[in-house]
Amino acid sequence: MRYSGFRLFSEGMTGNRGWRPVWRDPEPKPEYDVIIIGGGGHGLATAYYLAREHGLRNVAVLEKGYLGGGNVGRNTTIVRANYFLPGNSEFYSHSLKLWEGLAQELNFNVMHSQRGLINLFHSDGQRDAFARRGNAMINQGDDAILLDREGVREILPYLDFDNARFPIHGGLYHPRGGTARHDAVAWGYARGADARGVDLVQNCEVTGIDISNGRVTGVQTTRGAIRARKVGIVVAGRSGQVAAMAGMRLPIESHILQAFVTEGLKPVIDHVVSFGMGHFYISQSDKGGLVFGGDLDFHASYAQRGNLPMAEHVMEAGMALMPMIGKARVLRSWGGIMDMTPDGSPIIDRTAIEGLHVNCGWCYGGFKAVPGSGFSFAHLLATGRHHAPAARFRLDRFARGDLIDEEGTGSQHNLH
């Protein structure tokens, strides 16, 4: 069923009786070529590209809850390609290019809005660091403009430029950065994968991984055993737990990240803005709510709700940056479970167990990575070779000391 303006119109004229469920609800088969554990953004995108790019259709996505109920439906939806280090730079650049054609590719409105992202700086040292980052982005073929204070004022006149502690000196502007609708991305990939024959099995928790002679042979689930030649673990915050089922210990800690949404307001913020002197970033959703968030809660947890100290920090940082925000009422807040690696960069790799692969460690930045990650992981699963833009996301880089430490915060990324 293709979606189009004409389809909307004709359904509207005939009582909306022609819409069909967007994906099937299949019983799991006894055996698949590939099983993807986890029906979040990355798992669904992987399944889609396995079918679309490599013609693999005997594929199942096993999801313990409902599709999109994890972080993919809980994030603050920022999409950008403003990374500095080799490894990250080419990967996120590729992912952003996939975003730019995604609505047409999936025939599903993912509401990708390239409204521009501005990272503010508040000191000469920060300006120099952002100038270097901007140059790296331009070298990668992406867009970056270094704005001085007046340049930022022209675009974001509502900020407190003269805050006594954190005066704004300028910002790094990334015009192609922006937001997307998180649920729509999960639904769009799910619909595309289902249409190509992938089984999306909800309410199916993986409880064990079957291994024989060093090779994965299938999984145990709450809906019975299922055999498979290849298995991909794509469970974000639960990566450590699921990998442990195969006897593996991943370099991952799970931490909470919170988000906040205010009541709906008339349009006031038409960019994504991030504060440089505290943990706070903000955008406005199409429904009018101000959507903002901060940093991790700084203790390992599997809870999907946050704690007050970080909520307080985020509100204070917001007030320092844009005092007008104090008039808005926060309606909702929630948390998601982040799979934090020591260097803050992800892992897309095979494991020592033949046929068993991992895609994890997306930390708090995996939403923008969904198309690129799905594309690269599908490539690895189907061909056995690393896809070039993701080739540095190796599991053994932690043993080799070849870290991709984007923030330069050392080996305990989650503690800085």
Ligand X SMILES: Cc1cc2nc3c(=O)[nH]c(=O)nc-3n(C[C@H](O)[C@H](O)[C@H](O)COP(=O)(O)OP(=O)(O)OC[C@H]3O[C@@H](n4cnc5c(N)ncnc54)[C@H](O)[C@@H]3O)c2cc1C
Number of residues that bind ligand X (CB under 6 A): 39
Residue type for 10, please?
S
**Residue list 305-344, contact with ligand X (CB under 6 A):** 336
Cα angle value 29/34/38 (rounded, 5°)? 85
Residue (293 or 344) nearer to ligand X, CB? 293
Sole window of 12-20, 28-36, 70-78, 395-403 interacting with ligand X (rule: CB under 6 A) = 70-78
H helices of 262-321, where? Answer: 308-321
3-state secondary structure of 304: coil
Q: Which of 177, 365, 372, 389 binds ligand X (CB under 6 A)?
A: 365
Residue (75 or 140) nearer to ligand X, CB? 75
Q: How far is the CB of 176 from ligand X (least distance, A)?
A: 14
Q: Which of 34, 242, 296, 320 binds ligand X (CB under 6 A)?
A: 242
Tokens of 217: 């042979």
Give the side-chain half-sphere CA count within 13 A for 105: 19
Helix crossing, 88-100 with 370-383: angle to 10°? 110
Q: Which of 23, 34, 36, 42 binds ligand X (CB under 6 A)?
A: 42
- For position 82 contacting ligand X by CB under 6 A, the verdict is no
- For position 99 contacting ligand X by CB under 6 A, the verdict is no
- For position 205 contacting ligand X by CB under 6 A, the verdict is yes
- For position 277 contacting ligand X by CB under 6 A, the verdict is no
Q: How far is the CB of 283 from ligand X (least distance, A)?
A: 9
- For position 116 contacting ligand X by CB under 6 A, the verdict is no
d(CA 148, CA 134): 13
Q: How far is the CB of 365 from ligand X (least distance, A)?
A: 4
- For position 364 contacting ligand X by CB under 6 A, the verdict is yes
d(CA 337, CA 213): 33
Provide CB contacts within 8 A for 255, sequence distance 6+. Answer: 296, 297, 298, 299, 300, 301, 337, 338, 340, 414
Q: Which of 168, 235, 320, 340 binds ligand X (CB under 6 A)?
A: 235
Give the side-chain half-sphere CA count within 13 A for 130: 24
Residue type for 373, please?
S
For residues 117, 174, 339, 351, the Cα torsion angle rounded to the nearest 10 degrees is 160
Residue type for 138, please?
I
Residue (294 or 355) nearer to ligand X, CB? 294
Tell me the residue number closest to ligand X, measured at CB.
40
- For position 209 contacting ligand X by CB under 6 A, the verdict is no
Residue (56 or 236) nearer to ligand X, CB? 236
Q: Which of 47, 62, 180, 322 binds ligand X (CB under 6 A)?
A: 62
- For position 41 contacting ligand X by CB under 6 A, the verdict is yes
- For position 367 contacting ligand X by CB under 6 A, the verdict is yes
Q: Which of 136, 193, 248, 257 binds ligand X (CB under 6 A)?
A: 257
Distances in Å between the Cα of 72 and the Cα atoms of 99, 109, 144, 180, 349 are 15, 16, 27, 11, 21
d(CA 26, CA 5): 30
- For position 362 contacting ligand X by CB under 6 A, the verdict is yes
Interface residue list for ligand X (CB under 6 A): 37-43, 62-65, 69-72, 74-78, 205-206, 234-238, 242, 257-259, 293, 336, 362, 364-368
